[in-house]
Structure formats: C-alpha cells, structure tokens
Amino acid sequence: MSKVLDEYIRGITTDNPIFGLVLGLCPLLAVTTSVENGIGMAAGAAFVLICSNVIISALRKQIPASVRLPIFIIIIATFVTIVDMSMEAFTPDMYTQLGVFIPLIVVNCIIIGRAEAYANKNNVFYSLIDALGSATGFLLVLVLMGAIREILGTGAIAPFGYTLITVPINPATFMIMPPGAFLTIAILMAIVNYRKAKKLARGG
C-alpha cells in the first residue's frame, strides 16, 4: 500500500512535471490567465495522460522498441482528438478560450515523457497511479499560477461563475498579459530553488 502512495506523491513532489522535470511549460504559461482555464487545461491533459499511460502500459510487451515513439504519439493523438471533440461539444466557451492549446496537448512533453519513462516499463496499475500523480501535480501548479495571476490581475478569483475571493486592490492588468506569466513562473521557480538549496544545506 505504501508503495502505491509513494508513487502517487512522487508525481506531485520530486517528479512534479513543472518544477521537478520542467516539462509542459507552453500550456502552463499560456492558459493560466484564470483559475477556470487552468482547471480546464489540466482536466484535458489529465484525461489524455491517464488513458495513454494505461494503454501504453498494457501494450508495452507488444510495441517493438525501435518504433515505440511514433506508436506512443499516435495513441496520444487519438485521446487528444477525443478531448478536443468533447470539449468543443460540451464546453464551447472553454474551447474558444483554450484555442490551439487543446490540440497541442499532443506535443506536451509531460505525456510522452511519462509514457517513455514509466508506462513503458511498469504494469498497468502502477502506470495508472503514476499518471494520476503527475496529473495532480500539473493541476496544482496550473491552479496556483492561475490563482496568483487572476487575483493580482483582476482582484478576484471567480472560477465557473462563483466568486470565491475578492481582494480590494487596484488590479494590475500586467499580470494577466503575457509578461505576467513569465514573471510569475520566474518567481515561483526561484522560490522552489531557494527551498531546495536550504534543504540541501540542512543535509537533505
């Protein structure tokens, strides 16, 4: 049981897609203008990640090693097409907001990275847990960045029409414009580096 939990937590902490492995930066910076978009993007990526990890893990003995990457990409592209069409049909507003970044899930390095590094070598159950962990890690970072940028940029967090928090500040539109994304990720990464350095200095 503890191994299952470890595998799950690993995706959020040491192997966190953004801060640990530095993968999947494009969607992270582009869609986090609000918490709502962040959740939508993370949900799409999570579906693709979980399904493709399970399928690839189930087929890992049949896939010849020399052509494995094209096969992974085709499997991933299939699930991205499913997400793309479902979002267009059921959540059209979100679909227009996220735009080209839905089809671009297919070249998101997180998914092919997990397929190559984990699902290709482990059984179906652990691959599922690994995918869940990475998906949660990605979701948390997207929501965190969305929250920071939305609260500083508009003065409130209001996902899906529910206003959660309002802060009486003068909104800085800068934060929801492209440079705000770069600034937020720079500061977050600096904080993570600082924490890591302190941990090392204390002796692990």
Partner 1 sequence: MVEESLIAVLINGVFVKNFLLIQFLGLCSFVGVTKDLKSATGMSGAVIFVMTMAAVASFGLYTYILVPLKLEFLTLICFIVVIASLVQLVEFVLRKHVTPLYRSLGIFLPLITTNCAVLGVVMLNVMNDYPFVYSVVFAIAAGLGYMVAMLMMASIRERAEYVNVPGAIQGLPHAFLVATMLSMAFVNYFKVIPV
- Backbone phi and psi for residue 156, each to the nearest 5 degrees, phi listed first: -155, 160
Site map 2..31 versus partner 1, x via CB under 8 A: --------------------xx-xxx-xx-
Work out how close the CB of 137 gets to partner 1 at its nearest, in angstroms, rounded to a whole number: 17
- Stretch of 140-148, 154-162, 163-171, 172-180 lying at the interface with partner 1 (CB under 8 A): 172-180
- The reply on whether position 81 binds partner 1 by CB under 8 A is yes
Work out how close the CB of 5 gets to partner 1 at its nearest, in angstroms, rounded to a whole number: 30
Nearer to partner 1 by C-beta: 125 or 194?
194
Per the CB < 8 A criterion, the answer to whether 120 and 137 are in contact is no
> Which of 35, 46, 106, 139 lies at the binding interface for partner 1 (CB under 8 A)?
106
Nearer to partner 1 by C-beta: 77 or 158?
77
> Which of 58, 164, 165, 177 lies at the binding interface for partner 1 (CB under 8 A)?
177
Looking at the DSSP bridge assignments, the partners of residue 165 are: 157
- The reply on whether position 64 binds partner 1 by CB under 8 A is no
Q: Can you give the three-state secondary structure of the chain, one letter per residue?
A: CHHHHHHHHHHHCCCCCCCCCCCCHHHHHHHCCCHHHHHHHHHHHHHHHHHHHHHHHHCCCCCCHHHHHHHHHHHHHHHHHHHHHHHHHHCHHHHHHHHHHCHHHHHCHHHHHHHHHHHCCCCHHHHHHHHHHHHHHHHHHHHHHHHHHHHHHHCEECHHHCCCEECCCCCCHHHHCHHHHHHHHHHHHHHHHHHHHHHHHCCC
- The reply on whether position 186 binds partner 1 by CB under 8 A is yes
Work out how close the CB of 45 gets to partner 1 at its nearest, in angstroms, rounded to a whole number: 13
For partner 1, the binding residues (CB under 8 A) are 22-23, 25-27, 29-30, 70, 73-74, 77-78, 80-81, 84-85, 99-100, 103-104, 106-109, 112, 177-179, 181-183, 185-187, 189-191, 193-194, 197
